[in-house]
A and B are shown apart, each in its own frame.
Chain A
Amino acid sequence: MADATPLLDVRDLTVTFDTDDGAVQAVDRVSYTIDRGTALGIVGESGSGKSVSSLTVMGLTRFAGNARISGQVLFEGRDLLTAGDDELRALRGGEIAMIFQDPMSSLHPFYSIGNQLIEAVRVHRDVSKSQARDRAVEMLGLVGIPDPRKRIDDYPHEFSGGMRQRVMIAMGLINDPKLLIADEPTTALDVTVPAQILELLERLQREFNTAIVLITHDLGVVAEVTDEIAVMYAGRIVERGGKDAIFAAPQHPYTWGLLQSIPRLDLPRGDALTPIPGRPPSLIHRPAGCSFHPRCAFARDVCVAAVPELDDAGQQSGHAAACTLPRPARDQIWAALRDGATPQAALAATTVPVPGTLLESAPAAAAEAAS
């Protein structure tokens, strides 16, 4: 927080894809900021717009051809959305790097990893091949590839999934970027590997002082690495705040659902996990008002009437949620839910008046049955 302008300042980013079935609003007025050397976790399920928002930051949705983009993406004060293709290209892989979900398919099968790493260096720096190669060997060593001088000439298919993701991380960090966007970096890996990769990311973030945007569907993953968390649902940020605040006092019913669906070691083993009923909404025909209301056990008529905006009602500054429940009521409901109460009982027990009348909708019954 030494600098007044944040490293990345995303304001009201909206991305719409025109398809044959209609306009898909993948990202809807998303705003977040990230400072130098900090880590932000963007959490949400498939189709929540978390990947599209970061691909747009990188300018990679331009290649889709059918994307309409509005808002601002300020990187060190420069708006990347209005930047020229060449200007953006110079930033990509240089100051902003990205690593992807599937390391199996993200490396080119026909070129040795050394070849691909050297290319990444020489696109941005005017160095000789051997200098670039030395840098590549150094980076491979840093990300924990044993015997990098020898393995650099191997092809991607000669590496395991975890090792390939290390190569991808080496490729991302090879030009000392200020910002690294990691899109589900551990999702495609074997169960024993993610912890190692996250540890590596955390260590490298400290060593390089790189800011990280970590995109994941797994709250456990962000808990490891990030300081700030943004929870996305159906293209919108529904809650954001510090990691500790979000885990201790989550404000949005969707976040409650996410937290309750994580297995916990401090609860008796017999307790069933509580799933979130229903499915994510279509982004073409989005539900009126709060997109989460069809799946929310606390949905009332006011939730359908208007889209709730993020409030800054949290005790800690910056902790905000987009929900019509009054803040004291949310605290009481979460406390009750955490102790195993049903949503109905939790809502009935609140002492704070809740606006609107409860919707007679299926999810409440479904949640009832599940608990």
Chain B
Amino acid sequence: MLTFIVRRVLWMFVLLIVISFITFIIFTTLPSADPVLLRAGRRASPELIASLTKTLGLDKPWYEQYWIYLRNLLFHFDFGYSYQNNISVRAQIFDRIPATAGLALGGMVIWLMAGIPIGIVAAVKRGTWMDKAAMGLALVAISAPVYWLGLVMLYLFSKDIGVIPIFEGQGSYPTSGSLFTNPIGVGKSLLLPWIVLAASFAAIYARFLRANLTEVLTEDYVRTARAKGVRERTVIFRHGVRAAITPLVTILGLDLGILLGGAILTETVFNIPGIGRLAFDSIQKSDLPTVEGTVIIAAFFIIFLNLIVDIIYAFLDPRVRY
């Protein structure tokens, strides 16, 4: 088990370096706006441009630039400085993580709380109106794009019904501190984004669990449990759901990893200053260090959560051993 983890962690570093390299190449070799010109403003003098090029390190060949970047990253955990904002990318990202994490984790709680019971009920009451209603609703939720659903929700709940505070002005969205000091306020303002983010995930999880559980309930070991005289509720949960929900852990790990790297659409619709927004803005401004940083962080979350899932799996399924 330990050698497995060590091996996977080493692999994680290799992967992250490869990913950083690919992102770097894309930005330096493919045509994009010159960050120096963006930075220097209109009617910049050639001296200013030359000195900016030098300060940003863009006068060096690309491989040297990459080497300096990689060295700083590996030995100092330094992502460099943003071309645009003049602060360190690390500080920028760490500043944004709480908002994204709060959005992703809260959304996850909601979609699990909705998706799992709905999936179980639909599987157990298969073919009844409850199943049909749940799966019909799921289809709608999967089909509705986040930006559309988000706008509809905003319109309904903030304007018409007006029960949820939205756009209260700058700084109304919580950062890490207020998550603990002001949980109710945070919860209120994040409720809509959570629901919008969770809708399609809840639907996918419900459908997945329904399909899995339907199959598991025809397994021989479920028949054995019934033949033992186990109560039907116990048969469904202890014998059925326990087996059917395990593959869901894999998907959950991936989804959460992707979302921690930034839920761009939801963050944009609800104006949440998360990593997704940061990535989106810096791509528009050709802010390479920030883009690199967000890509590496996003990749890290995905790879790391995959590792966690694999470790958890060994505890969930006794047949899995590393």
List the interface of chain A (C-beta within 8 A of B): 58, 60, 63, 85, 89-94, 97-98, 100, 102, 105-110, 112, 119-120, 123-124, 155, 157, 168, 171
Contact = CB atoms under 8 A, between A and B. Distances in A.
A155 B319 CA distance: 8
B229 A100 contact: no
Contacts of B316: 110
Which of B221, B225, B242, B316 has the most chain A CB within a 10 Å cutoff? B221
A97 B318 contact: no
Contacts of A93: 227-230
Given A155-B318, A157-B319, A107 B224 contact: yes
B43 interface: no
B132 interface: no
B221 A92 contact: no
Contact of B243 (A58, A97, A109, A123): A109
Contacts of B228: 92-93, 119-120, 123, 171
Contact of B242 (A60, A110, A157): A110
27 contacts: A60-B223, A89-B229, A89-B230, A92-B226, A92-B228, A93-B227, A93-B229, A93-B230, A97-B227, A100-B223, A105-B221, A106-B220, A108-B225, A109-B221, A109-B317, A109-B319, A110-B242, A110-B243, A110-B246, A110-B316, A110-B317, A110-B318, A112-B318, A119-B228, A119-B230, A155-B319, A171-B228
A157 B319 CA distance: 7
Contacts of A89: 229-232
B219 interface: yes
A93 B224 CA distance: 9
B229 A94 contact: yes
Classify the secondary structure of B's interface with A: helix
B318 A102 contact: no
B210 interface: no
A89 B230 CA distance: 7
A94 B230 CA distance: 10
Interface in B181-237: 219-221, 223-232
Nearest to A64: B218
B33 to A, nearest CB: 55
Given A93-B227, A93-B230, A171-B224, 10 more contacts: A85-B232, A92-B227, A93-B229, A100-B220, A108-B221, A109-B243, A109-B317, A110-B316, A120-B228, A123-B228
Nearest to B224: A106
Interface residues of B, number: 21
Contacts of A123: 228-231
Interface in B303-322: 316-319
Contact of A92 (B219, B229, B239): B229
A110 B221 CA distance: 10
Contacts of B243: 108-110
A124 B221 CA distance: 19
Nearest to A115: B238
B267 to A, nearest CB: 38
A19 B55 CA distance: 77
Contact of A60 (B219, B221, B226): B226
A124 B229 contact: yes
Contacts of A124: 229
Given A108-B239, A108-B243, A90 B229 contact: yes
Interface in B224-266: 224-232, 239, 242-243, 246
Contacts of A102: 220
Given A109-B243, A110-B242, A91 B224 contact: no
